[in-house]
């Protein structure tokens, strides 16, 4: 089967593109826990982003003085830079499980924890201040975002926000396109091999389309322009009932491995004709916290035989034909949806670009390796 697929790909004259992995930033090499706390993450984030925002403030409002939270004076307009903290009434707390009054807590929809009484606080090394006004909406921002705020302290001790400055889009790398030919990268997620809801026929049709075994000459011409495939997380669904910490019977061991074997068959067919990267997701057999490390290659005996198969980190960054691509398997966006509001996933993704932070809710509500 593999030989036949390779011959077919030669007939398609599939286009080639130079590839360079940039996952070194997310790879963990011989690192050990030395008692560091999450406060170090927030300190490093504030230090980096404040330097950037200070450089932008000089062009934003050069005549307004910049001060710290401790230096605020009532009625005096100024600019403060710090990390936002959102006080959320419905935010889950592990201590609530042990509270005698937990039965009195309001029922919360599992997909969102917003409440009309939520409010924002700005914090720097000198202190914190509650934010007021209508310019900064608690429904848009989340804990962990670093911003510059123009406003003044009120008699009640709050900071009345008049304007807000975000980091904005980072300087973009000019794509070094060496040809004007069309080239496509296919992104796939949520394969969930082994799930009762998955349809093997649908995925086989997708594989056949990518490898050029489906459609007429026009369809195969489009397939020939596919230069890369990225599997972006949630590729398998392991039966949770089997993961109870007990020794597994032989029949249960086979049930545990069947979803991975099914995925390997699909990946082998793709890797035989086109380079494929696979990223771990929230449901895959990988570490829970970001950055997730590559899935073990030994899980895929068929796919790993091809040098076109790569097991990658999540987040995943690479350059292809002079274009840099950075993405995640979606945990960062799913977490933003829980603790803020937006029209759709694209709006949440746009916010991460404006805030210049891929996962702003880490480590508050999204696990991260410190």
Residue 282 belongs to domain with CATH number: 3.60.21.50
Other Cβ atoms less than 10 A from the Cβ of 308: the count is: 17
Q: Residue 24 and residue 26: Cα distance in Å, rounded?
A: 5
Tokens 């916010």 belong to which residue? 351
Q: Which sign, positive or negative, has the C-alpha torsion 65, 70, 71, 77?
A: positive
Q: Regarding beta strands 146-153 and 77-87, do their DSSP bridges make them parallel or antiparallel, or are they unpaired?
A: antiparallel
pLDDT at site 5: 36
In a domain, 127, yes or no: yes
- Which residue range forms the structural domain that includes residue 211? 184-242+249-320
Same domain, 256 and 212: yes
Same domain, 154 and 208: no
Same domain, 166 and 195: no
In a domain, 44, yes or no: yes
pLDDT in tens, 104-146: 555 555 688 999 999 999 999 999 999 999 999 999 999 999 9
Stretch among 18-27, 76-85, 105-114, 219-228 having the lowest mean pLDDT: 105-114
Secondary structure element (H or E) that encloses residue 319, with its range: strand 316-320
Mean residue pLDDT of the chain comes to 88
The more confident residue out of 173 and 104 is 173
How would you write 85-140 as a 3-class SS string?
EEECCCCCCHHHHHCCCHHHCCCCCCCCCCCCCCEEEEEECCEEEEEECCCCCCCC
In a domain, 326, yes or no: no
Q: Is 49 helix (H, G, I), strand (E, B) or coil?
A: helix
| Single residue among 280, 297, 320 that ends a domain in this structure | 320
In a domain, 26, yes or no: no
In a domain, 118, yes or no: yes
Share of the chain above pLDDT 90, in %: 68
Same domain, 236 and 344: no
In a domain, 24, yes or no: no
In a domain, 28, yes or no: no
Kindly report the CATH number assigned to the domain that includes residue 69: 2.40.50.430
| Residue 26, pLDDT above cutoff 70 | yes
In a domain, 205, yes or no: yes
Residue among 263, 188, 269 nearest 232 (CA): 188
What domain count does the chain have? 2
Burial of 47 (C-beta count, 10 Å sphere; 0-12/13-18/19+): exposed
Give 301's contacts (C-beta < 8 A, 6+ positions apart).
Answer: 264
pLDDT in tens, 206-222: 999 999 888 888 889 99
């Amino acid at each position: 089967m593999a030989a036949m697929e390779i011959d077919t790909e030669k007939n398609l004259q599939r286009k080639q593109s130079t590839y360079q992995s940039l996952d070194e930033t997310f790879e963990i090499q011989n690192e050990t826990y030395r008692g560091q706390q999450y406060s170090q993450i927030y300190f490093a984030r504030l230090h980096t982003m404040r330097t950037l925002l200070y450089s932008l403030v000089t062009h934003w409002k050069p005549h307004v003085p910049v001060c710290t939270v401790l230096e605020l004076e009532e009625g005096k307009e100024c600019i403060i830079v710090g990390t936002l903290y959102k006080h959320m009434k419905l935010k889950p707390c592990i201590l609530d499980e042990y509270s005698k009054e937990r039965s009195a807590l309001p029922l919360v929809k599992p997909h969102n924890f917003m409440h009309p009484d939520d409010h924002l606080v700005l914090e720097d090394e000198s202190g914190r201040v509650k934010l007021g006004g209508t310019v900064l909406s608690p429904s848009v921002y989340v804990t962990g975002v670093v911003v510059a705020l123009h406003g003044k302290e009120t008699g009640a001790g709050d900071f009345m926000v008049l304007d807000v400055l975000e980091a904005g889009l980072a300087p973009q790398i000019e794509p070094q396109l060496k040809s004007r030919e069309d080239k496509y990268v296919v992104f796939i997620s949520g394969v969930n091999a082994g799930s009762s809801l998955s349809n093997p026929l649908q995925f086989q049709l997708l594989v056949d389309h990518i490898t050029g075994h489906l459609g007429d000459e026009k369809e195969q011409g489009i397939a020939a322009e596919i230069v890369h495939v990225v599997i972006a997380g949630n590729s398998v669904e392991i039966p949770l009932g089997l993961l109870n910490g007990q020794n597994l019977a032989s029949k249960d061991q086979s049930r545990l491995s069947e979803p991975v074997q099914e995925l390997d068959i699909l990946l082998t067919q793709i890797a035989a004709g086109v380079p494929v990267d696979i990223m771990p997701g929230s449901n895959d057999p990988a570490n829970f916290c970001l950055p997730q490390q590559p899935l073990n290659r030994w899980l895929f005996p068929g796919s790993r035989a091809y040098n076109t198969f790569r097991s990658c980190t999540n987040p995943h960054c690479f350059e292809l034909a002079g274009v840099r691509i950075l993405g995640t398997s979606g945990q960062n966006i799913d977490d933003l949806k829980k603790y803020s509001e937006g029209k759709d996933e694209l709006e949440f993704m746009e916010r991460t670009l404006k805030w210049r932070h891929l996962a702003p809710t880490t480590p508050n509500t999204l696990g991260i390796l410190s």
